[in-house]
Amino acid sequence: MRKLHVNTWRSSVAAILLVAAHGAWADEPPSTTPTDQAVPAAAPAAAPAAVAAPAPAEATSAPTGRKKILLLPIEYMAFQRSAGGVTEAVPEWTESCKSNTAVVLQKLLGEDSRFELVTIPDLSDEEKATLREHVELFKVVSNDAVLAISFGGKAWQDKRAHFDYTLGPGLKFLKERSGADAAFIFGGVQTTQSGGSVFLQLLMAGLTGAYIPGGGSFITFGSVNLDDGRIDWFNSLLGQDVFGAGGVDLRKADSAEKTVTKLLSPYPTSPLVGMKIL
């Protein structure tokens, strides 16, 4: 009974963090248009593989040949939570997170022999707006997918077995303009506690014997088929800070490398697809 109680509590905490991340995305202020951010250069044709391809899983099948891919601009927000419970975006942290993540993704995807990384073409203002809308749509769809699949219970068995989430065909123009087969999208949020917030959390834990998460991270990372908008590969990460420590911090280059490598390593298997029903 104790083990069941602890697992239920952990699931509840994870769900709270995930919903909080969803709210942070919803309140996210407008950012630069996608093509205002740096985009990766095309990868060398004979680059060695940096990420070993695992054996194909039942849920997905391994791609044949080199898949032409785009890396869309990173959509990530960094926040700080004060002792008073106020959570505010920190632009400097956000830019550091995006920069570190982009460097790792360009390296991993560009050096992986399964992929040919191509450059995003010059886009019109209308195309930039369309791209931005679909990146935001991916964040919403992937957030809901994680909630349903991880915490939806047996009613969502079919979605686990047959992952059929899609963004629609609105990004097909990228295939026509660049020749790419798919686009990788990386989005997320992280909340870092201030020193005062950590102190208050420690104090409350000492008084009550329990704690409420004051920080954490939620990341979704996926590949979208540019022909029809299907999310053809997907992974996510949900982490919580315990007294200001233990969570993902993409402001740090080593944390970004470890996190992104871990997220990409199962490709082409999607860990959420076909997972055991809880």
What is the mean pLDDT, run by run of 10 residues, along the chain of 278 residues? 40 46 52 47 42 40 73 93 77 97 97 96 95 94 86 77 89 96 95 60 56 75 95 87 65 95 93 56
* Residue 188, H or E segment: strand 182-193
242: in domain: yes
Is 101 within 8 Å of 75 (Cβ atoms)?
no
Residue type at 276 in one-letter notation = K
276: in domain: no
Q: Is the dihedral of CA 246, 251, 255, 256 positive or negative?
A: positive
The total domain count for the chain is: 1
At residue 164, the pLDDT reads: 86
Is 260 within 8 Å of 236 (Cβ atoms)?
no
Cα separation, 100 vs 250, in Å, equals 7
Is 198 within 8 Å of 187 (Cβ atoms)?
no
Which of 89, 188, 177, 72 has its CA nearest to residue 133?
72
200: in domain: yes
272: in domain: no
| Tokens found for residue 182 | 């798919």
- Please list the residues that pair with 216 across neighbouring strands: 191, 240
pTM: 0.71
49: in domain: yes
At residue 216, the pLDDT reads: 78
Q: Which residues contact 238 (CB under 8 A, 6 or more apart)?
A: 14, 17, 18, 21, 146, 150, 216, 217, 218, 219
277: in domain: no
Enclosing domain of residue 24 = 2-264
Please measure the distance between the N-terminal and C-terminal CA atoms of the chain and give it in whole angstroms: 16
271: in domain: no
